[in-house]
Structure 1
Amino acid sequence: MSSRTKKILLLLLVVLLVAAAIYGWQQFKAPERSTHLPSATVTRGNLQEQVTATGTINPRNYVDVGAQISGQLLRLHVEVGDPVEAGQLLAEIDARVLEANVAASRAQLRAQAAQLRDRQAQLKLAQLHYQRQQNLRADEAVTEEALQQAEASYLSAAAQLDQLQAQIEQNQSSLAADEANLEYARILAPISGTVVSINARQGQTLNANQQAPVILQIADLSQMRVETRVSEADVSRLRVSMPAYFTTLGSQGQRWRGELLRIEPTPVIENNVVLYNAPFDVENRRNQLLPQMTAQVFFIVAETQDALLAPSAALQRLDRQRYQVTVLTPGGSQEVREVQVGVNNRIQAEILSGLQEGEILLLQTGSQQNRATQNTNRIPGMPRL
């Protein structure tokens, strides 16, 4: 082989080696660097900023039905789960003593009515006698003393009549109380609803002298109230009438919706955590919600539809109003842009300006996010640590 041929082969070998080195660098070095950069794509979708909490479901309207009189519970006409209408008979208490009291009061009133007629007759007689004595005294046929005695008899008869009428009124009030107690022996439903609990049993003796014993509870299950407890860190983000929804265990993703009624000012402290009650009402037309169910509640602070969305991890806060992101260009370079952010639920953020759908963003690592937070929260004029 000639020296010229050897030179050509050597040159070809050098060219092949350089080409292989360039190809290897493009295939291994550049992709390795790009694949190790955490990134995400700007997409389009819906977004909600929420406050989450847990709550307990109870009927909005319920009544504890108690006994106003003492006695033995003779009969219960309902069971737990029975629907009832207002005015329906629920239970009966032994009323034999009450019936006897009513009968005695009525008999006493009849006797006093007879006494009243007798007193009225005596008053009329005393009045006539007094008038005759006045006429006779005018003719000086009787003494002044006789006239005075007739007047005293007339006034005494009138006073006795007034006294008897007062006793009759008193006994009529006692009769009304006895009749009311007799009515209380029949316990009626105060509202329409469902019997949710029964606390007494047939044959049990009820004592209403110290406090009214609760026999059963009726609740209107068509309207339920969700008693939600929100932490003090999130309660400032709530506002009255803001929309809310919740799910229950086993609801298979079904949502019930309502509006926040109020934020109750008295907190509840559980395990050194301050919680505030934030209730709202929901419809329960199909009776799927039952008392004491646990609800996972979501208060909607803000929401947007069909918006550009970027991961919150791609945002770097410049101050309380401005953010910036790092965009990975198709050529592999990095471009820093300032963006305007709308709704932000700390996982995704709405991009109002500065990005387009499909662009790739560089995600910040944990250390970068910590540094950004420190720089944002540091006091102006103080050196960086």
Structure 2
Amino acid sequence: MLALNAGLSFAQVPGPAGAPHPPTEAVEIKLDTVTVQRGDLQQTVEAVGKLQFHHFADVNVQVAGQIKEVLCAVGDAVQEGKPVMEISPAVRAESNLAQMARLRAELADQQAQTDFAELQFKRQTQLKAQNATREESVESSRMNLASARARVDSINAQIQQLEATLKFDEESSRHRQVPAPLSGTVVAVNARPGQTVSVGQAGPPLMRIADLSQMTVQARVAEVDVTRLKRGMTANFQTPGYPGRTWSGKLRQVIPVPADGTGEQGKQTFYNVLFEVDNPEQELMSGMSTQVQFIVAQAKDAVLLPANLLGKRDAAGMYQVNVVNLERRIVVRKVKIGLRTTQQAQVLSGLEAGEQVLVGPVPTPALLPKPVAPAAAP
């Protein structure tokens, strides 16, 4: 806002010769005024935050084994499906094949014993029909046949289990190369040659790959402000690493639980708010600090007035200001206010751009005449 000093003066002019009143000097009154101007106004919610990866994936092995070689390092660009590690699977194919041969031999032997037990049972059954054998012999042959068949079933079950193991071993031998789960940049490597790995092991990931073309800003917003935020609103931020630059995004999500370490034992409560920003040149990096402004409301090309010139609002919701008009007189004007910040207010009615608003109290006299030129000598 442009502050102007309006110099106003008024005088008593000497009358004709012989007038009863002596001449007096002109009195000048200086007034501080502000010119009403047009501009843009925004209501914002301020917050601090951090940049983090938006899309990333961890590299894990599909079979147990030992890492043979790590094919990339931190900072390398990789393509989805391309190998990033080689491992030696921990399989025992030879011993499993030998066990399979032994089980098949046992099955053949047991099948022969089962066939013999069936013949014995048939013979005892025929003899029993002719009353040529005892009941105990018949039952004994029946039991021997049932036992032989059970052993055949057991060996078949072991063979099926071993076949599954051999199939897994064969499949594992094909996973000597560990592929990248997505295209991006390697941002962490915790694997080393010779390291023994297993499926689903705990601890840090062997490797992490992130897509750096888009980043996420995680901002911490105080609970008094978070209710003003809505999904899809514009969010701008700056980071100390690039002074003078501003990035923008759209609010994606307000996490509905307090941020870690807040809202406990009298601490102020904050909520994490997330939005994404494009990063085609990969200038922004994970962990950078940000100063975020969420735009709650805005007005374009609005009539603006310094907020400190507004007093108390009356019952009709209007504010009273003092305007210095074109006749250099001070007149009272009621104005209606829209958006308002700590520094500026949007004037909806009552003022126009270019008008002069008085700063401070109204001087005496309240109505000031135009400056009067001194009269000529008689």
TM range (shorter): 0.7 to 0.9
CA offset at residue 160 of structure 1? Answer: 0.6
Q: Structure 2 residue aligned with 1:116, among 107, 116, 125?
A: 107
The aligned runs of 1:23-62 (5 Å cut-off) are 25=27, 29-30=28-29, 33-34=30-31, 37=32, 39-62=33-56
Cα-to-partner distance string for 1:32-63 (whole Å, 9 max, x where unaligned): x22xx2x3222222221111212111112223
CA offset at residue 286 of structure 1? Answer: 3.6
Say whether residues 1:311 and 2:306 are aligned partners.
yes
> In the superposition, relative to structure 1, how do residues 351 and 281 fare at CA in structure 2: closer, same or farther (>3 Å)?
same
> How far, CA to CA, are the matches of 1:350 and 1:209 in structure 2?
60
> In the superposition, relative to structure 1, how do residues 205 and 171 fare at CA in structure 2: closer, same or farther (>3 Å)?
closer
Say whether residues 1:215 and 2:206 are aligned partners.
yes
> How far, CA to CA, are the matches of 2:196 and 2:123 in structure 1?
66
Q: Report percent identity of matched pairs.
A: 36
> In the superposition, relative to structure 1, how do residues 326 and 114 fare at CA in structure 2: closer, same or farther (>3 Å)?
farther
Say whether residues 1:65 and 2:56 are aligned partners.
no
> How far, CA to CA, are the matches of 2:154 and 2:166 in structure 1?
18
> How far, CA to CA, are the matches of 2:330 and 2:345 in structure 1?
21
The aligned runs of 1:263-282 (5 Å cut-off) are 263-269=255-261, 273-282=268-277
The aligned runs of 1:212-361 (5 Å cut-off) are 212-248=203-239, 249-250=241-242, 252-269=244-261, 273-318=268-313, 321-361=317-357
Cα-to-partner distance string for 1:167-197 (whole Å, 9 max, x where unaligned): 3344345556666776776433233322112
Kept in 1, the 8 Å contact 2:234–2:248? The answer is: no
RMSD, matched Cα:
3.3
- The match for 2:150 is 159
> In the superposition, relative to structure 1, how do residues 136 and 349 fare at CA in structure 2: closer, same or farther (>3 Å)?
same
Cα-to-partner distance string for 1:266-298 (whole Å, 9 max, x where unaligned): 134579554221111233334332211222211
- The match for 2:77 is 83
Amino acid at match of 1:59: F
> In the superposition, relative to structure 1, how do residues 347 and 156 fare at CA in structure 2: closer, same or farther (>3 Å)?
same
> In the superposition, relative to structure 1, how do residues 59 and 146 fare at CA in structure 2: closer, same or farther (>3 Å)?
same
Cα-to-partner distance string for 1:70-89 (whole Å, 9 max, x where unaligned): 76533110121222233332
> How far, CA to CA, are the matches of 2:154 and 2:304 in structure 1?
90
Q: SS of the counterpart of 2:138?
A: helix
> How far, CA to CA, are the matches of 1:107 and 1:325 in structure 2?
100
Kept in 1, the 8 Å contact 2:236–2:249? The answer is: yes
> How far, CA to CA, are the matches of 2:148 and 2:309 in structure 1?
104
Amino acid at match of 2:287: Q
> How far, CA to CA, are the matches of 1:335 and 1:194 in structure 2?
67
- The match for 1:126 is 117
Q: SS of the counterpart of 1:290?
A: coil
Kept in 2, the 8 Å contact 1:243–1:260? The answer is: no
Kept in 2, the 8 Å contact 1:102–1:178? The answer is: yes
Kept in 2, the 8 Å contact 1:207–1:213? The answer is: no
Unaligned runs of at least 5 residues, structure 2: 1-15, 362-378
> In the superposition, relative to structure 1, how do residues 180 and 295 fare at CA in structure 2: closer, same or farther (>3 Å)?
farther
Q: Structure 2 residue aligned with 1:138, among 106, 111, 129?
A: 129
Say whether residues 1:190 and 2:181 are aligned partners.
yes
> In the superposition, relative to structure 1, how do residues 184 and 238 fare at CA in structure 2: closer, same or farther (>3 Å)?
same
> How far, CA to CA, are the matches of 1:85 and 1:136 in structure 2?
78
> How far, CA to CA, are the matches of 1:187 and 1:73 in structure 2?
10
Unaligned runs of at least 5 residues, structure 1: 1-10, 366-385
> How far, CA to CA, are the matches of 2:203 and 2:166 in structure 1?
22
Amino acid at match of 2:298: E
> How far, CA to CA, are the matches of 1:336 and 1:176 in structure 2?
93
Q: After the TM superposition, which of the residue ranges 202-211 and 311-320 deviates more from structure 2?
A: 202-211
Say whether residues 1:171 and 2:162 are aligned partners.
yes
**TM-score (ref. length: structure 2):** 0.76
Kept in 1, the 8 Å contact 2:338–2:348? The answer is: yes
CA offset at residue 151 of structure 1? Answer: 1.1
> In the superposition, relative to structure 1, how do residues 253 and 205 fare at CA in structure 2: closer, same or farther (>3 Å)?
same
CA offset at residue 221 of structure 1? Answer: 2.0
Kept in 1, the 8 Å contact 2:220–2:259? The answer is: no
Amino acid at match of 1:277: N
Q: SS of the counterpart of 1:118?
A: helix
> How far, CA to CA, are the matches of 1:150 and 1:80 in structure 2?
73
> How far, CA to CA, are the matches of 1:195 and 1:185 in structure 2?
20
